[in-house]
Amino acid sequence: MDTTTWRYSTAAEWLHDSGPMRWRRTYRGELQEVSKVRRLARMMFAGDECADVVEFAVAELAANTLRHTRSGEEGGWFGVELAYGDPVYVGVTDLGGGGIPAVRQVDERQESGRGLYMVSQLALAMGIHGSPALGHTVWVDLNRRQTLETLGELSIPLAS
């Protein structure tokens, strides 16, 4: 007879276990999928202070992967990973191509090119792993208590 005891005595202990909860999902390589990514982030972090920051970050990373990698080509796909911890982890995986993602200083005269910079300004940490040939994962760690409203010190206004 197995004498192993259950690790959690209450549902709350299970729900708030010290390990981060993780969600992974893949999406078709189409721009309309970005709205689904936003909804997933909003739903997974509903009620949390950081919901708007997570939603913004995952949407920007997903849109970039579709614009700048093979994920946006016919038959392409991309993956999203969210981890509910402190910090919050957001990772978007693409199919590669198009070079290495890089954060660039914003040119005030251009309408595009601000997304990855803004995500970097929201992040506690940010990184990229992979290669143009095999694909990349661009990831950010975000403060769970941060909101877009608390970011008045950013030099560029956020716009949707």
Domain CATH for 141: 3.30.565.10
pLDDT at residue 93, as a whole number: 94
Q: What is the CA radius of gyration of the chain?
A: 17
Residue 70 lies in a domain: yes
Residue 159 lies in a domain: no
Structure tokens at 18: 């010290």
Residue 146 lies in a domain: yes
Range of 28's domain?
Answer: 21-150
pLDDT at residue 151, as a whole number: 59
Instruction: Please report, in tens digits, the pLDDT of each residue of the chain (160 residues total).
Output: 455 555 555 666 666 666 678 899 999 999 999 999 999 999 999 999 999 999 999 999 999 999 999 999 999 999 999 999 889 999 999 999 977 776 766 666 666 567 788 898 899 999 999 989 989 999 999 999 988 876 555 544 443 3
State the pTM of this model.
0.79
Cα distance between residue 55 and residue 139, in whole Å = 14
Number of domains in the chain: 1
Separation in Å, CA 137 to CA 3, 7, 18, 78, 81: 42, 33, 25, 10, 10
Residue 16 lies in a domain: no
pLDDT at residue 159, as a whole number: 38
Cα distance between residue 22 and residue 132, in whole Å = 26
